[in-house]
Amino acid sequence: MPKIAVVTGGSGGIGAACVRALSAAGFCVVLLYLQNEEQAALLCAEATAEGRTVQAMRCDVGDGQQVDETFRQILSVWRHIDVLVNCAGTALIKLFQDTTDAEWQHLLNVHVMGAARSARAALPAMLSRGSGCIIQVTSMWGETGASCEVAYSAAKAALIGFTKALAKEVAPSGIRVNAVSPGAVDTGMNRGVDMTELLSEIPLGRLAAPEEVAQAVLFLASPSAAYITGEVLRVNGGLVI
């Protein structure tokens, strides 16, 4: 029986790296994306050329009805889900007093409720098999907070709390829940931001590659992490210790 992984936000920088890493490790990967159809198609084509399976499906994790329907379709084909990686997200750099209620709601809806909806949709199949792995991609700002990213930091902090609480709830059923907390990563989301000052504070002296975050995700999804749950694995070059 093939191993099935679902990656939300699978066409983004870290998400795409997770898709490639999981596919290379032998998973059949269902890539959920919202906007970047071209990148999603490229990932599918790459996998096909290498004899692997990556299936792309458009899904807005901010829409509960879409999430439920998408996971119903996934399970109708594959029957089970071994790994769920919640990578969908969006950034907002803005002064706290200028951040609107609508912007707060959007960030919380995508980061927190998007992960919760996806986990809720995947869990019944995991519970019926008594196994499964859910991994959140959060951020160091969820641990430390970031000036001018208050709403983003709060959303990522909530995601860490969600990870720890859900891990306790589903561990007796054989399901593990963990998070990966990246620092500064060389992705399209960050390329328009001046990283000079932040780079000077990173002990390893460079940004992370998306592939390095993906390897942490792959580790948590692997049998090597079979006794790890409720953890936040930091991938930040020593910036947060």
CA 27 to chain centroid, in Å, comes to: 16
Catalytic residue among 139, 152, 163, 233: 152
Both tokens assigned to 69: 């329907």
| Residue 227 bears catalytic tag | no
Residue 114's DSSP bridge partners are none
Residue 133, H or E segment: strand 132-137
Residue 136's DSSP bridge partners are 86, 179
Residue 120, H or E segment: helix 114-129
The answer to whether 135 and 178 are in contact (CB under 8 A) is yes
* Secondary structure letter of residue 135 according to DSSP: E
* Residues labelled catalytic: 152
